[in-house]
């Protein structure tokens, strides 16, 4: 397995920049993300129609441009996670992790023994179809696979110290939109209750078993720039919007400017 660019940045204490692939099932989007200078392509299977063939093509593209492929799964399903890892996905993000039990189960799903219970497949694409000896592949995977647990509900915030204490979790990824909904403060940027909840996650990450904080860049509910996120101790951020939103905005501006010139 290739070195995980995001995990290297985490180990160095930096802030890794990822961005959304969006809902366009084309590996060229991932190539563009890499060529633009991002560290990771965030492939969302929770809110898109992507299938495994779409994801595999994107993983190959990520490898081509030297960035980390991170897949947010539709839910927590160890069998599904195994299929993603065997095709070469370098990062798994599990949504709605409510407690330490789910976090521990996620670690078991993404790590090979003795750290977890991931099933072995010596001829998988992740093992370069058997070219890499199984023991070496297992060691590399346990070192390089990124696991992010999403903190999106007040139940998770209440149990954040227990979740953060689970060894093998690399990121505690706050979802400000769903967390705002859970707190009953949707639509109010920088609401004190949301800010306080995120601060609890920040403090838990600081004294965790090795997890770093992840927060989105310039999110509507929690607007923070890269400098501010770094000061909070974040190790990873997703930069919005999606490619579709970027493209639409650019095209609308161009069309409006042209029409203005035409009078």
Catalytic (active-site) positions: 47
| SS3 state at 149 | strand
Q: In residues, how long is the chain?
A: 263
How far from 12 is each of 6, 16, 206, CA to CA, in Å? 10, 10, 15
Cβ atoms of 55 and 92 closer than 8 Å: no
**What sign does the dihedral 126-29-24-67 (CA atoms) show?**
positive
Tokens 């099933």 found at: 119
Burial class (CB in 10 A: 0-12, 13-18, 19+), 75: exposed
Q: Residue 104 and residue 93: Cα distance in Å, rounded?
A: 14
How far from 35 is each of 26, 30, 40, 195, 198, CA to CA, in Å? 15, 9, 11, 34, 32
How far from 136 is each of 67, 89, 144, 230, CA to CA, in Å? 22, 17, 12, 34
């Amino acid at each position: 397995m290739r070195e995980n660019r995001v995990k290297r940045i985490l180990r160095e204490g930096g802030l890794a920049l990822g961005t959304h692939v969006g809902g366009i099932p084309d590996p060229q989007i991932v190539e563009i993300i890499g060529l633009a200078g991002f560290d990771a392509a965030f492939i969302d299977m929770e809110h898109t129609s992507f299938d495994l063939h779409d994801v595999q093509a994107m993983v190959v593209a990520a490898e081509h441009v030297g960035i980390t492929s991170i897949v947010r799964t539709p839910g927590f399903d160890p069998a599904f996670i195994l299929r993603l890892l065997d095709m070469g996905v370098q990062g798994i993000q599990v949504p709605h992790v409510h407690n330490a039990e789910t976090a521990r189960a996620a670690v078991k799903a993404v790590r090979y023994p003795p750290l977890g219970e991931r099933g072995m497949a010596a001829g998988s694409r992740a093992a370069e179809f058997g070219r890499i000896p199984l023991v070496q592949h297992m060691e590399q995977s346990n070192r390089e696979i990124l696991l992010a647990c999403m903190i999106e509900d007040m139940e998770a915030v209440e149990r954040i110290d227990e979740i953060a204490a689970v060894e093998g979790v690399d990121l505690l990824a706050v979802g400000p939109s769903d967390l705002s909904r859970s707190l009953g403060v949707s639509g109010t940027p920088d609401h004190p209750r949301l800010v306080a909840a995120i601060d609890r996650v920040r403090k838990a990450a600081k004294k965790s078993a090795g997890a770093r904080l992840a927060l989105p860049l310039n999110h509507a509910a929690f607007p923070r720039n890269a400098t501010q996120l770094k000061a909070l101790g974040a190790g990873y951020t997703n930069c919005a919007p999606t490619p579709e939103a970027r493209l639409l905005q650019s095209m609308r501006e161009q069309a409006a400017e042209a029409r203005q010139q035409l009078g």
